[in-house]
Chains A and B, each alone.
Chain A
Amino acid sequence: MTQLDTSPSVPVYQLSHLRALEAESIHIFREVVATFERPVLLFSGGKDSVVMLRLAQKAFWPARLPLTVMHIDTGHNFPEVLEFRDRKVSELGVRMVVASVQASIDAGRVADEPGRSRNRLQTTTLLDAIAEHRFDAVFGGARRDEEKARAKERVFSFRDEFGQWDPKNQRPELWNLYNGRHRPGEHIRVFPLSNWTELDIWRYIAEEGIEIPAMYYAHRRQVVRRDGMLMGLCQWIQPGEGEEVTEVTVRYRTVGDATCTAAVESAAATPEEVIAEVAATRVTERGATRADDRFSEAAMEDRKKEGYF
């Protein structure tokens, strides 16, 4: 920086990178609410969806959030996350739709595979709920830094009448001009956190003092080691034959379906400690904690084409 820039007589009109990302996300929320009829925000209680909800609140302040929130409930939840979800939704006074994967299974829409995660099954439940409620814009908390198929995703991502994503035929997206046009039955997925990284999310949580479920911070938990991952014992995860149960200090880097979300050993008990840990880590959050992304090189791409988050 030269002397000129820091001189008090010459103001420096500069936003920090977090405030620039925030301004971009707020712009996206407002575009959608101004131009769509029935937008919905996917809210799981996970950290990204909590940050997304905070940004949505800011976008419409001081008015109430002009959005419905929706949770795709696999039925395999961490109880503390459900409690957190319900408390947040009631604090904000927004309408919540819970779409249940169990209900889709009971209705014969999808078949449960015992012992397998219900991650992929969520797609049917999600698409059915979008159709039932005629949602035309669906906000998701996915970030481009999460995964290589997501790196190609648009901010406004067109889905055809089957909810499918066609990665080879995406609308070019220039400047901050978003094309949300669609026919009845089609919809747009909107990703306001596209340009945020895991570290940005944590820095924002710290800077804004945002509350997230306590399991994101270090705590003692009984775990088994499975495929090199630490699976916390709960209603859905029980030790298998020959698996040894140990109690370790862990935290969760992601919070998803309880059957396929792993914990990591960590002593980080505050946002600041988590930031230090994330900055030093050498494994991506999905690689460390999501059993579902280990199937193949294109697991996420395949799920996304079908209409996954």
Chain B
Amino acid sequence: MELLRFATAGSVDDGKSTLIGRLLYDSKAIFEDQMEAVERASVQRGEETNLALLVDGLRAEREQGITIDVAYRYFATPARSFVIADTPGHVQYTRNMVTGASTADLALILVDARNGIVEQSRRHAFLASLLRVPHLVVCINKMDLVGYDQEVFEAIKAEFRAFAMRMDVTDLSFVPVSALHGDNVVHRSAAMPWYEGSSLIHHLEQVHIASDRNLIDVRFPVQYVIRPRSDEHHDFRGYAGQLAGGVLRPGDEVVVLPSGWSTVVESVETADGPVHEAFAPMSVVVRLADDLDVSRGDLICRPHNRPVVGQDLEAMVCWLDEKHLQPGGRYAIQHTTRSARAVVKELIYRLDVNTLHRDEGAPTLALNEIGRLSLRTTAPVFYDEYRRNRSTGSFILIDEATNATVAAGMLLDPAHVG
């Protein structure tokens, strides 16, 4: 059984909570005591049973009737296990959406059939494409309120496709649903015989994600050096880490960055025994044929397929902190298992997430704003373009005075940087 992580974004009005509630309820992931607690709380507030209360876990969220933070939800069908990163939809929670999308295989975007595509739908689609979520599913919800009309569905679909073409969206699907009545959520709906695609859950079970990972460029950031120094494993020296790309096998010729020394993979080990190959996201221990000086933050790759090595970076960043970006400011940067300092050389432009307009005169980035930055780091970073590898292409910036995580960055190809 495979694991699929998907992100949803939306507000209560879109029927997002109802949809999630239905996915959880119909897959038996909501339990009776949780349902009773929701019913009790709803009665106390004088409301009808409000499935949003299942998802909104914090007191402040229930009081205000909004989702503030990312909530993680879990359910499984016989075909797959699912992790939902459920995030609020409003523009003031862009950072939460970015967080939820960062690890998602798929993004679910809700559109209210009565309203068609609104600013929020465009923003969600843009954020999913910015974070390189490989699959996008647009649920056109509340079909019951437009008489299950195929024309409404087709018109929204065409409009969405038209603007998605301007973005980097690789796999786009549309499902007409009524979350409230369950049409096309778990079972194909009898009310929409004109729809020939699969139900939402069937789509989530079947979407092909195995090839989304990069299996071409071997990238092994060293996390930790294992040296037992025990009688049994006296000379054992292994490099522990999680494959960030490619397939690594014993016998492979490799180089270690930054030293550039080349050697051969002697074995790839796990606590359950050696393996004949390792691929992302496996956590393994790599042993090398030669005794080299390798430590945390180094990167193992193939000699003819190396990442970019550089100190001058360009990236799209989402600003995550109340305190604005300081052009010229210094931050700590965390990239794979490597830490350094970075100075912000320039804010190249700020991007309006609703219109995609680039403001080249913007002085700073505030919370939830997205822009393109150039940075210089105190030590070389071994990276790939984010669109090629989400792991070696991403970083975070940390304010060294407050220790807060202030930005999420997606690196751009230096060939396009100029």
Contacts and interface: CB of A to CB of B under 8 A. Distances in A.
A167 B68 CA distance: 10
Nearest to A168: B60
Contact of A172 (B95, B224, B390, B395): B95
A199 interface: yes
B204 interface: no
A170 B57 CA distance: 14
B58 A27 contact: no
A16 B81 CA distance: 10
Interface residues of B, number: 76
A14 B404 CA distance: 35
A63 B230 contact: yes
A168 B282 CA distance: 33
A17 B60 contact: no
Contact of A59 (B32, B240, B398, B405): B240
Given A34-B224, A152-B57, A177 B394 contact: yes
A150 to B, nearest CB: 8
Interface stretch (B70-78, B146-154, B173-181, B355-363): B70-78
Interface stretch (B98-106, B163-171, B301-309): B98-106
Nearest to A31: B223
Interface in B40-85: 41, 54, 56-60, 62, 68-74, 76, 80-81, 83
Nearest to B339: A35
Contact of A26 (B3, B31, B283, B395): B283
Instruction: Identify whether the interface residues of B are mostly helix, strand, loop, or mixed.
Output: mixed
Interface stretch (A120-128, A131-139, A178-186): A178-186
A283 B32 CA distance: 5
A33 interface: yes
Nearest to A169: B404
A301 B61 CA distance: 12
B99 A199 contact: no
B324 interface: no
A298 B62 CA distance: 10
Interface stretch (A141-149, A210-218, A233-241, A251-259): A141-149
Interface residues of A, number: 65
Given A57-B271, A174-B408, A168 B68 contact: yes
A15 B1 CA distance: 8
A301 B59 contact: yes
A109 interface: no
B101 to A, nearest CB: 9
A284 interface: yes
Given A17-B2, A182-B403, A282 B223 contact: no
B323 interface: no
A31 B396 CA distance: 15
A24 B69 contact: no
Interface string A44-87: 00000000000001111111100000000000000000000000
A297 B41 CA distance: 8
A27 B81 contact: no
Contact of B405 (A14, A30, A179): A179
A12 B72 contact: no
Contact of A170 (B1, B28, B69, B398): B69
Given A149-B57, A152-B71, A182-B403, A30 B228 contact: no
A95 interface: no
Nearest to B241: A30
Nearest to A282: B32
B198 interface: no
B31 A283 contact: yes
Given A168-B68, A283-B32, A197 B228 contact: no
Contact of A175 (B71, B102, B228, B320): B102
A220 B37 CA distance: 31
Interface string B96-121: 10110011000000000000000000
B60 A23 contact: no
Contacts of B240: 30, 59-60
A144 B69 CA distance: 14
B395 A177 contact: yes
B34 interface: yes
B251 interface: no
Contacts of B343: none
B391 interface: yes
Contacts of B281: 15, 20, 23-24, 27
Task: Specify which of A5, A57, A145, A183 lies most central, judged by the most chain B CB atoms within 10 Å of its CB.
Answer: A145
B81 A194 contact: no
A13 interface: yes
A34 B228 CA distance: 15
Contacts of A90: none
Given A17-B81, A63-B227, A174-B394, A144 B74 contact: yes
Contacts of A150: 57
Contacts of A151: 57, 71-73
A187 to B, nearest CB: 12
A62 B232 contact: yes
A16 B57 contact: no
B58 A34 contact: no
Contacts of A60: 226, 240
A64 B32 contact: no
Given A31-B223, A61-B270, 18 more contacts: A13-B213, A15-B2, A17-B1, A17-B3, A17-B80, A20-B3, A58-B271, A59-B283, A64-B228, A152-B58, A172-B95, A173-B99, A174-B99, A174-B394, A181-B398, A197-B76, A197-B81, A284-B33
7 contacts: A27-B281, A63-B230, A151-B73, A167-B60, A197-B74, A200-B81, A301-B57
Interface of A: 2, 5, 12-17, 19-24, 26-27, 30-31, 33-34, 57-64, 144-145, 147-152, 158, 167-168, 170-177, 179, 181-183, 194-195, 197, 199-200, 281-284, 287-288, 297-298, 301
